[in-house]
Every structure is written in C-alpha cells, then in structure tokens.
Amino acid sequence: MHFEILVEGQTELTALSILMHQILGAFSEPHTWRLHKHRGIGRIPDDPAAKPNKHDQSLLHNLPSRLRAYGDEGRDDVVVVVLVDLDDRHDCNAFKREMMALLSYCQQQPKTLFRIAIEELEAWFFGDQQALKHAYPETRQQVLDEYIQDSQCGTWEVLADAIYPGGMTALGLHGKRSVRILEQKRIWAKEICQHLDVQRNQSPSFQAFRDGLRRMATT
C-alpha cells in the first residue's frame, strides 16, 4: 500500500519522517509513503466544491480539492492520510465528521484516514516520557507528573516548560516569537522522535494514528 500523508507543517513532517518506518516497516518493504506539508491548518472553505485560492496553502483550505484529485486517480493501492491538530476545538468527533463530509464532494472517493492529534502533536512526545527524557535529560519531572495525557492544556507550552531552559517564558522572549517557536518545535520533534518507541507510546491519539495506518495497510 502507498500512503499520501497530508500534514500541517514542518514539525509534523519531521516527526513522521522519523516514525513511519517504526509504524509500517522499512520503506518499500512493502509499503511506501509520501509526506506533504502545508502552511498551517487553515479552515475548511465555505464552498468545498470551489477551486481553492492559490495563495492559501493551508491544509484544510486545500483538502477538498486534494481529495477530489486523489479520488479521480482511482487507485485502490493508495490511502490518503489527513493528520491535523485538534487545537482548541471542543468536539473531536464533530471535527472529524466535518472533514469526512468533504468526501461527498468527490465523484469517486479515495481511501482516506482522518486522524487528529489531541490537543497538538506534542502530546505524542508526552506519550513516551522515556524518549523525552532520553532526548532532554534535564526534563523537569514535576511538569511531566502534572501533565494529563492528551488533554487540552496548551500542550506545546507545557512541553516548553518541561524541557526548554527557562521554560515557555524564556522561549517567548527570544527574537521573532512565532518564527523561533516553530523552529524550536521542529527541533523537539527531531530530537525526541529519534528515541520514541511507537509500541510503548501512551498517547491515545498517537495509538489511533499508528493502528489506523496498520489497519489500512492490510486492506
């Protein structure tokens, strides 16, 4: 099976570039995959049937047209995987239904797996605290002890408080805040995922992603 994986940005691309072989085995033995990063999550367009704005490179804005294009290819050996963050949305199931409804705009629906990191991808890193502490030996144990797995608590900010010198406050004070934070999140993904064990990970949203891919690989 071949997987076309749509992600929000560089952090997700970095993480999955490292983790995919643990989930599905070595590339091309037998499964293959390709990762597509976007410029943020964006929002589902008011008219999903309309042609997307070429200046908007966010994932959700382009998702309806991408699904139609994959469906038009008519390939049974391709699975489209959509991975997004829940962020501050209150109903994960409702959000998933919104994305699944976009398939009704396809003349031929592609095989599609929708998965949501709760609250953010950084929750997956908390799911393997052994890997996190291996990557960052000075991790603040008290922060780990207070974190509730896959809770909506400002996950990446909590991660910063756990592993970044001076915590979130120090990170937010350096240079151009948004640019520096995005780069730091990419670094965390690279350093932690090198040690992450997909079998012992305790994040329910990661387990759903892992198990969903493996199930689709056998269809």
Q: In this structure, are 100 and 139 located in the same domain?
A: no
Q: Are residues 18 and 72 in the same domain?
A: yes
Q: What is the pLDDT of residue 143?
A: 97
Q: How many domains does the chain have?
A: 2
| CA nearest to 34, candidates 66, 70, 81 | 81
Q: Does one domain contain both 143 and 75?
A: no
Residue 200: DSSP 8-state: T
DSSP output for 110-172? PEEEEEEESS-THHHHHT-HHHHHHH-TT--HHHHHHPPTT-SS-HHHHHHHHHSTTHHHHHH
Q: Which helix (H) or strand (E) covers residue 35, if one does? A: strand 32-37
Q: Supply the pLDDT for residue 173.
A: 60
The predicted structure's pLDDT at residue 176: 47
Residue 146 structural domain = 122-193
Query: Which tokens sit at 122?
Result: 């950084």
Task: Let me know whether 142 and 78 are in one domain.
Answer: no
pLDDT of residue 174: 54
Looking up residue 20, the CATH number of its domain turns out to be 3.40.50
Q: What is the value of pTM for the model shown?
A: 0.95
End-to-end CA distance of the chain: 8
Do residue 47 and residue 135 come from a single domain? no
Residue 161 shares a structural domain with residue 58: no
Residues 7 and 109 in one domain: yes
List, run by run, the mean pLDDT of 10-residue segments along the chain (219 residues): 97 98 97 98 97 97 98 96 97 98 97 98 98 98 98 96 91 65 95 98 98 96
Does residue 128 sit in the same domain as residue 165?
yes
DSSP secondary-structure letter at 103?
Answer: G
The verdict on 114 and 8 lying in the same domain is yes
* CB distance 58 to 42 below 8 Å: yes
Contacts of 15 (CB under 8 A, 6+ apart): 121, 124, 189, 193
77 and 11 in one domain?
yes
Asked if 41 and 59 count as a contact pair (C-beta separation under 8 A), the reply is yes
Regarding whether 141 and 72 lie in a shared domain, the answer is no
Looking at the structure, do residues 10 and 113 belong to the same domain, yes or no?
yes
CA–chain centroid gap for 169, Å, is: 25
